[in-house]
Amino acid sequence: VHIDRDALARAGMIVPGAAVTPLAEEFRLVKRALLLTARGIADRDVALARTALVCSANPGDGKTYCAINLALSLAAEQDIEVLLVDADFAQPDVLDRLGVADAPGLLDALADRPIDPETLVIPTDVPP
């Protein structure tokens, strides 16, 4: 699936393949800290080391913005695959922000047990 890079740029987000921006540098610093922490945890719990949750108590705090930018920053790393899951049941917005057509997702898999969650993964054209 093609990620709408123009929409990302208009929203002030990291654009895959574009020049490095101050925003990309800020998320690179966050990414480095997360990867360092993950390495420390990996010996005890590999699944936990491969998981990050972006959350806040209030709507409009920038969870989606941060999650997308962090995922794009992580995806730029060699040998790292990223699965971004929009678990915001009240206002799912990740697909729309990426310019991707609406599709079944996590809530559908939880509501309908026969759905295999792996079939809901949408591969993108974001290069490693």
Are residues 31 and 73 in contact, defined by beta-carbon separation less than 8 angstroms? Answer: yes
Residues 6+ apart with CB under 8 A from 112: none
**pLDDT tens digits for range 90-99:** 889 999 999 9
**pLDDT tens digits for range 49-92:** 999 999 998 989 999 999 999 999 999 998 899 999 999 988 89
> Which tokens in the block code for residue 59?
């709507």
At 127 the pLDDT is 83
Q: Is 4 a residue whose pLDDT tops 90?
A: yes
At 7 the pLDDT is 94
Taking the C-alpha atoms of residue 95 and residue 81, their distance in angstroms, rounded to an integer, is 18
At 112 the pLDDT is 82
> Which tokens in the block code for residue 34?
């997360």
At 37 the pLDDT is 95
Average pLDDT across the chain, whole number: 93
> Which tokens in the block code for residue 35?
């990867």
For residue 8, which amino acid is it? L
For residue 61, which amino acid is it? D
Residues 6+ apart with CB under 8 A from 16: 3, 5, 8, 72, 75, 76, 126, 127
At 107 the pLDDT is 87
Taking the C-alpha atoms of residue 102 and residue 13, their distance in angstroms, rounded to an integer, is 20
What does the chain come to in residues? 128
> Which tokens in the block code for residue 43?
């010996």
pTM above 0.75, yes or no: yes
